[in-house]
Amino acid sequence: MDLRPLLLPALLCASTAHAAIPAGARADIRKINTDWGVAMVKGDVSTVAAAYAPDAVFCGVDGKCITGHEAILAMTKRRFSEHGLPKSAVAHTTGMVEDRGYIYEWGQAEIISASGKTSGGGYLTVWKQQPDGHWLIVRNLVLD
């Protein structure tokens, strides 16, 4: 039985049983998501990859995953080289829940290529507070 359709409703129901999202985490996530969109348009791979913890895992829509900040940086450079810079890129958070030191964020991303083609889709991102107090991505899953 495929339980994936139950994931989002379960997260929404569970959110009432968990702690509120810390203000600092909300601010970090909002800033990183905003900076991501600006950096994508500018081709600023360092800022795009800065959202990821050193041991982060990024899983694309094809199910292939890469591990580590440097690998995510290289992937971003490769994508810019292969596809060019987009006209725009935006991440819209739909919801967040905190559970045992992790923040689970989900939403929709939209990228408009230089030729005007729209891509993107759903995502699920797991954030963890780092030793310096800031929140970074430890897992990012592109859903569609």
Of the candidates 51, 59, 55, 63, the one whose C-alpha atom is nearest the C-alpha of residue 91 is: 51
Q: What is the pTM of this model?
A: 0.84
Q: What string of pLDDT tens digits covers the 144 residues of the chain?
A: 444 555 555 555 554 445 799 999 999 999 999 999 999 999 999 999 999 999 999 999 999 999 999 999 999 999 999 989 999 999 999 999 999 999 999 999 999 998 899 999 999 999 999 999 999 999 999 998
Question: Element (H or E) spanning 68, and its range?
Answer: none
* Tally of domains within the chain: 1
Residues 142/110, Cβ–Cβ less than 8 Å: no
Kindly state whether residue 8 falls inside one of the protein's structural domains: no
Kindly state whether residue 10 falls inside one of the protein's structural domains: no
Residues 54/73, Cβ–Cβ less than 8 Å: no
Domain that holds residue 92: 19-142
**28/114 Cα distance (integer angstroms):** 29
CATH of residue 83's domain is 3.10.450.50
